[in-house]
Structure 1
């Protein structure tokens, strides 16, 4: 049996398990002196809390429906008091990818554990990028390879913006055009420039100031490429290559970009840059 055909059964089991774990008193449904034969809420009570029909909910829990709308799923998640991870899993079981985006209540922050991971990558330059490709965190070797990001004003500390408008970042890549075009396609494929004001403003700025960006954005090119090899140069090392990989964190929807040396010459170049940074910080 395929994963797709088994999904209604898994959804049914998930709903039933979480219904049975709820205390009716917590939902304001307990009646003094009234005993219940089974723990948890009844099907009709879950349906009532979610404002759907009992018959509809029953068919979901019996595996006789293949899914539900995002609105119904959100209502069920509220009724069953699901946490964020459980909500996302509910949408996954229902075959929905249009899960409501997380509500952001302030500036994006990087977990201390993720920052420690960056710092422990001694031979790998690494960056954490936010939802709009803002550079949120970096390690010492990334500073050595590119520049000291702490010296860049926060509003300008955006990877896509710096790739096009910062001469030092742009000049680090000997193969800048194909890399930059991949980044443009990645932004088009993974963000909504029409509904995200931050992305819309960035696209407008780059379209006005850079002819290459304007051309590539107009091509409607999309790219989901998350691995490859970059060819870089530095005044202290000359040319060298780095493999790169982009990983997405599940909790904060951030991107971890890690670069590794594909050969001994590239590793030697990274270590020379690391020693230079260490010497500068000691003086």
Structure 2
């Protein structure tokens, strides 16, 4: 952090190329952010208040909703402020803090999705041993491992990036302090740092996805052995929501972080980054609320009680 004496702040120019869209984008992102916060908080509340949802699958879902909420807090409020102000600056320390929490919660989300895949695998492949293999203690340890791993890797990557010399170029070609745009703002060649980041992405993104893929190979192998069509459909329906979120989450992450740096484009990366920082966190509560019968039923019961109370 000694380089702070040379560069005190950065300029985020992510949406500067679309000056006529600043206000419409602000309105869209603000409404989407409100919907995201509402959806995740509502989902956490429903799971907390209904005892029949106090099982591992919904425990992981509530933790994922909390992590997604914190993940958006690291990026979206600052982005909204920049859209309606002339000053697009972020301090050197603020940029480092934003990157640390963004990567930390992003990595934690990857690990949580992996834990949820493992939970579905145990539920379908080892139903008789489910309560033992997915006890409260095991679930707590999996969540702790996800958080510690995500933030440890985040600390390493953020440290290496912000020890680079930022002597001249203050502009960051993005709307938040993501890894590649910040590295490009440094005034030296950074092949070693880029290698560290690539390893980080392989470990977190590709490694997590491979573990989820392995879980679903075991799941599909078990489902194919179920004799009845209804039984197969019921088993698969418990995985549909998770699979949807996994493909969106890891698809966007792979496009951004597992590709050659020569293909970097400000406009393309801005569009893709909007998807995984704004749209995907909104998608999670929507998918799980609409496609998950347990959450859907709990929400309808809660809404019915409220309506009956108001009508009295």
Q: TM-score, with normalisation over the residues of structure 2?
A: 0.25
Larger relative contact order (Cα-Cα within 8 Å, sequence gap ≥ 6) = 2
More strand by share: 1
Q: Which has the higher helix share?
A: 2
Look at both structures and tell me which one has the larger radius of gyration over its CA atoms: 1
